[in-house]
Structure 1
Amino acid sequence: MSAKSLNSLAGTKAKNTIDAYRSDWDDFCDWCKYHKQTSFPATAETIVNYINDLADYAKTATIRRRVSAISENYNAAITSGIKVENPCREWIVKEALTGLTRLKGGAQTGKTPIYWDQLCDMIKCIDTKGLGGLRDKAVLLLGFMGAFRRSEISGLDVTDIKRVHQGIIVTVRQSKTDQQQMGQQVGIPCISDDDFDCVKAVEQWITAANLVDGPLFRSILKNNTASKNRLSSKSINLIVKKYVSMIGLNPDLYGAHSLRHGFATYAALNGVEERLIMRQTRHRSVEMVRRYINEADLFVNNPISAIFNKK
């Protein structure tokens, strides 16, 4: 937030409130930077797109608080004499928030995680004879194994994939948790089951699509060749929903974030240490990771299993 905005807020808001506004504003600025949008001044359309992205994983209350923080920053700027319009007052932003409440309700808890056995069932539904199937398989396995956000999957280039003896190293050039844009590297080892090996799936896609550079994941043309156009983060979301539906699950409960959520929770269920999960998910704070671990702990050493699942 600007110095003028902070000074204006300081007279009317508690310190904790100002700190929360600053954190929410920073999140919005990071999102705008990644999507090459202007945060100040921002358009109402930018605010709506930000809301839609948050809707994949954040609670309704969190989204409303973020928009409120953005609005307060603009109000404070206006009060301090900066000539700018508050985009949060536009009707399309209000409609987006109203629609969000109708769609998600007030007690939304994020996308349902996709566990490994469910992912395997989804992979089995894919027709890998066509180029689109090879791409979708690579998207799903990479999204899960790398615990990537959908924007990170969409933003990958072919040159971001480096083959080494143990597997592949994926370089994420821009990420929500990499504000300095230093780049983050994620290791994905080979696994023994070729049908579900992420490394093999990514290599098969690259080879079949004849990719040398440019976007890693692309739309497919009618002649079954890869276009030059990068697959959008929205398309990544739709791929997940498509195969979730094919195994009989409700697609409204799942999205691209289900892969990331699923990896973290599944890792916790298998006793993986917190620090190792965080290294793969690249969370800066332990708060979210511990939510996944606590979710897994509901079933680890559960007394019902001890009673009814005796060997």
Structure 2
Amino acid sequence: MRSELVALNVSDIQEMEGGAKVTIRRSKTDQEGAGQTIGILEGSRLRPLSSVRAWLDAAQITDGLLFQRLSKAGKLLGPMTPDAIALLVKHYAKRAGFDASQFSGHSLRAGFITSGAEAGNDALRIAEVSRHKSLDVLRGYVRRANLLKDHPGASFM
């Protein structure tokens, strides 16, 4: 996912009512580059598209790579690396009061899947966004925050 983020171009995002279609041109499961399109919901809390628009305006990016390194003076320095994504995740986890050693770039994907599953969303719909081909693999991502929530024994224990 980190390499997919840093490879996104501005043209890969097509806004539509309520969100956007995002084309991922290549991934580790799509080495031929056939591309995959996923939907990104704007949402009412996180608002990722508003954040991307604000980033593009602040960095004055109109085309080319969506995420680029920026100097302290605000000058574009070129492409980000996948490792930079991991460092940013760790940095902001720490700023939010979490143990940064427990987070990585992969936490973005795992967190989305876990949050979707805990909210009761259908696994097939989650897999459409995460692009998992196997529900068994998808299940391995779900990290139960509360092992007693929706416990199967709740109705008879």
TM-score by length of 2: 0.88
Max Rg structure: 1
**Contact 2:59–2:74 (Cα < 8 Å) also in 1:** no
Structure 2 portions without partners, runs of 5+: none
Would the alpha carbon gap of residues 258 and 221 (structure 1) be closer, same or farther in structure 2, given more than 3 Å must change? Answer: same
**Contact 2:59–2:76 (Cα < 8 Å) also in 1:** yes
The residue type paired with residue 155 of structure 1 is: A
CA root-mean-square deviation? 2.2
Equivalent in the alignment of 2:68: 218
- CA–CA separation in structure 2 for the residues paired with 1:191 and 1:239: 22
Would the alpha carbon gap of residues 260 and 294 (structure 1) be closer, same or farther in structure 2, given more than 3 Å must change? Answer: closer
| Cα displacement (A) at 1:301 | 1.3
**Contact 2:89–2:105 (Cα < 8 Å) also in 1:** yes
The residue type paired with residue 251 of structure 1 is: A
Equivalent in the alignment of 1:173: 25
Equivalent in the alignment of 1:233: 82
| Cα displacement (A) at 1:163 | 1.4
1:1-311 paired onto structure 2 within 5 Å: 149-193=1-45, 196-227=46-77, 229-293=78-142, 295=144, 298-302=147-151
- CA–CA separation in structure 2 for the residues paired with 1:304 and 1:223: 58
**Contact 1:268–1:296 (Cα < 8 Å) also in 2:** no
- CA–CA separation in structure 1 for the residues paired with 2:55 and 2:48: 11
Report which of the two has the higher share of strand. 2
Structure 1 portions without partners, runs of 5+: 1-148, 307-311
The residue type paired with residue 275 of structure 1 is: L
**Contact 1:158–1:214 (Cα < 8 Å) also in 2:** yes
- CA–CA separation in structure 2 for the residues paired with 1:265 and 1:162: 26
198-207 vs 291-300, which deviates more?
291-300
**Residue aligned with 1:207, SS:** helix
- Give CA deviations for 1:113-167 in whole Å, capped at 9, x if unaligned: xxxxxxxxxxxxxxxxxxxxxxxxxxxxxxxxxxxx1111111111111111221
- CA–CA separation in structure 1 for the residues paired with 2:139 and 2:37: 22
Equivalent in the alignment of 1:14: none
Would the alpha carbon gap of residues 305 and 238 (structure 1) be closer, same or farther in structure 2, given more than 3 Å must change? Answer: farther
- CA–CA separation in structure 2 for the residues paired with 1:208 and 1:234: 23
| Cα displacement (A) at 1:177 | 1.7
The residue type paired with residue 236 of structure 1 is: I
TM-score by length of 1: 0.46
